[in-house]
Copies of this chain bind each other. A is one copy, B any other.
Amino acid sequence: MKRLFDQMKGRMRLLRACAATGLVVSALLAPAPVFAAVSEETAFVFNTLLFLIGGFLVMWMAAGFCMLEAGLVRSKNVADICLKNISLYSIAGIMYYLIGYRLMYDGVDGGFMGAIGFWSPDDSAALAETGDFSAGYAAASDWFFQMVFVATAASIVSGTMAERVKLVPFLIFTALLTGIIYPIQGAWHWGGGWLSEMGFADFAGSTLVHSVGGWAALTGAIILGARLGKYDAHGRPRAMPGSSLPLATLGTFVLWFGWFGFNGASQLALGSAADSIAISQIFANTNMAAAGGVVTALILTRIIYKKVDLTMSLNGALAGLVAITAEPLTPSIGQAIIIGSIGSALVVFAIPFIDRLKIDDVVGAISVHLVGGIWGTLAVPLTNGDASFLTQLIGVVAIGAFVIVLSTIFWLILKYSIGIRLDEEAETIGSDIAELGLEAYPEFGGGSHKYRGT
Among B86, B271, B295, B437, contact of A45 (Cβ-Cβ < 8 Å): B271
Asked if residues B444 and A290 are in contact (CB atoms below 8 Å), the reply is no
Separation of A39 and B252 alpha carbons in the complex (Å)? 39
Beyond A126-B273, A245-B441, A307-B436, 16 additional pairs, beta carbon < 8 A = A38-B39, A44-B273, A45-B270, A45-B273, A52-B264, A74-B443, A74-B449, A82-B310, A87-B294, A123-B277, A126-B274, A133-B273, A139-B277, A171-B298, A428-B453, A428-B454
A42 part of interface (Cβ distance < 8 Å): yes
Q: List 12 A-B contacts (CB under 8 A).
A: A36-B40, A38-B39, A45-B275, A48-B276, A48-B277, A60-B253, A66-B249, A71-B246, A90-B294, A94-B291, A144-B283, A309-B436
CB distance from A331 to the nearest CB of B (A): 11
**In whole Å, how far is A134's beta carbon from the nearest beta carbon of chain B?**
10
The answer to the question of A67 belonging to the interface, with a C-beta cut-off of 8 Å to chain B, is: yes
- Within 8 Å of chain B (Cβ to Cβ): is A89? yes
Residue A402, interface by CB 8 Å: no
Cα(A332)–Cα(B120), bound, Å: 8
A-B interface, 5 closest residue pairs, ranked by CB to CB distance from nearest: A229-B454, A63-B253, A140-B280, A90-B291, A141-B280
User: Which A225-250 residues have a C-beta within 8 angstroms of B?
Assistant: 227-229, 240-247, 249-250
* A367 is an interface residue with CB less than 8 A from chain B: no
A440 engages B245 (CB within 8 Å): yes
Q: For the complex, is A195 an interface residue (Cβ under 8 Å from B)?
A: no
Q: Are A93 and B291 in contact (CB under 8 A)?
A: yes
CB-defined contacts of A246 to chain B, threshold 8 Å: 66-67, 70-71, 78-79, 82, 244, 247, 440
Give, as a whole number of angstroms, the nearest-CB distance from A88 to chain B: 10
B70 pairs with A249, CB closer than 8 A: yes
Query: Are B280 and A90 closer than 8 Å at their CB atoms?
Result: no
Those of A247-263 within 8 Å (CB) of chain B: 247, 249-250, 252-254, 256-257, 260
Does A55 touch B at the CB level, under 8 Å? yes
A397 at the interface (CB under 8 A from B): no
Chain B residues closer than 8 Å to A252, beta-carbon distance = 86
Contacts of A242 in B (CB 8 A): 442
Cβ-based interface call for A445 (8 A): yes
Q: DSSP majority for the A interface?
A: helix
- Determine whether A147 belongs to the interface, using a CB cutoff of 8 Å to chain B: yes
Beta-carbon contact of B52 and A141 below 8 Å = no
Q: Is A409 an interface residue (CB 8 A)?
A: no
State how many residues of chain A have any CB contact under 8 Å with chain B: 140
Q: What is the 8 Å Cβ interface bit string for chain A, positions 29-65, against chain B (1 contact, 0 not)? A: 0101011111111101110110111011101101100
For residue A427, which residue of chain B has the nearest CB? B454
A residues touching B (Cβ–Cβ < 8 Å)?
A: 27, 30, 32, 34-42, 44-46, 48-49, 51-53, 55-57, 59-60, 62-63, 66-67, 70-71, 74-75, 78-79, 82-83, 85-87, 89-91, 93-94, 97, 118-121, 123, 126-127, 129-131, 133, 137-141, 143-144, 147, 167, 171, 227-229, 240-247, 249-250, 252-254, 256-257, 260, 264, 270-277, 279-281, 283-284, 287-288, 290-295, 298, 305, 307-311, 313-314, 317, 332-334, 337, 428, 435-445, 447, 449-450, 452-454
Whether B67 lies near A308 (C-beta < 8 A) is no
- The one of B32, B253, B333, B444 in contact with A119, judged by C-beta atoms closer than 8 angstroms, is B333
Copies in the complex: 3
Of B140, B280, B308, which one neighbours A83 at CB under 8 angstroms?
B308
Shortest distance in angstroms between A279's beta carbon and chain B's nearest beta carbon?
Answer: 7
The reply to whether B241 and A447 contact each other, CB–CB distance below 8 Å, is: yes
Q: What's the minimum C-beta distance from A168 to chain B, rounded to whole angstroms? A: 8
Q: Are B138 and A277 in contact (CB under 8 A)?
A: yes
- A271: shortest Cβ distance to chain B, in Å? 7
* Closest partner residue, chain B, to A57 (CB atom): B56
